[in-house]
A = this chain, B = another copy of it.
Amino acid sequence: MRILVVNPNSTASMTARIGAAAKGVAAPGTEILAVNPPGGPESIEGYYDEALAVPGLLSAIERHEREIGVQGTVIACFDDVGLDAARSLATGPVVGICEAAMQTASLLGGRFSVVTTLARSVPALDQLARRYGMAGRCTIRAAGVPVLALEDPASGAVDRVRAGIRRAVEEDGAESIVLGCAGMADLARMLAEETGVPVVDGVTAAVKLIEGLVTLGLRTSKAGGYAAPLPKVR
């Protein structure tokens, strides 16, 4: 089985870490293709970056389905950028890492908190929590960490994420934690051990969900809002 993992920003070092995390949990026989579109924002921090990242993301999905024959796709940005459009366009199933992580956390306890990067991303994640039916059990927190600080070990970013987790457990009643950025994919196990609560990373969670969908023979329904794009001038 071939799974495409698209990082919609253009920072190759982040794509490499995302790919490594994905490969670390893939089943025997699953091939992971971790890519990022050539152009696009270097990081996604707010709605404007999201919007600009989508066309490149969609064209990467279309090309990998057509040329390489991937059977499922993970969108590796915690804002679930372009998810609806990707589901319309793609033949195989598509999963976003926010929805994957929230679903996974919901299997481990009652309340959970998302620890994300910057405060400006909180409202978008609040909207996703509502959309995914999780608003009643989920709190979104910002660690005050720019996305690219996660690429720099000297930035103190990990300490801030850890502090965010501790506050989530104490103040939000969080029983488990979701890491709210694809760039945190390699931190989950370490932070779980340090804090004593389950810590869910969306990239690895989404890889397992997509593997499951492909194994079960399930694809996006084309009977409603995800109908294939109509032929037209675009």
- A interface, CB within 8 angstroms of B: 10, 25, 27-29, 40-43, 45-52, 54-55, 58, 82, 84-85, 87-89, 93, 95, 99, 103-104, 106-111, 119-124, 126-127, 130-137, 169, 173-176, 188-189, 192, 196-198, 200, 204-205, 208-209, 211-213, 215-221, 223-227, 229-230, 232-234
Contacts and interface: CB of A to CB of B under 8 A. Distances in A.
Number of copies of this protein chain within its complex? 6
Nearest to A100: B107
A88 B224 contact: no
Nearest to A29: B28
Nearest to A219: B198
Contacts of A192: 217
A229 B88 contact: no
A225 B134 contact: no
A164 B219 CA distance: 21
A25 B198 contact: no
A233 B85 contact: no
Nearest to A58: B51
A173 B41 contact: no
Contacts of A89: 48
Contacts of A132: 106, 133
Contacts of A198: 218-221
27 contacts: A25-B216, A41-B232, A41-B233, A46-B229, A46-B230, A48-B89, A48-B229, A51-B54, A51-B82, A52-B58, A93-B108, A99-B107, A103-B106, A104-B216, A106-B132, A106-B133, A108-B221, A109-B225, A110-B226, A111-B123, A123-B225, A131-B131, A133-B137, A175-B226, A188-B216, A196-B223, A198-B218
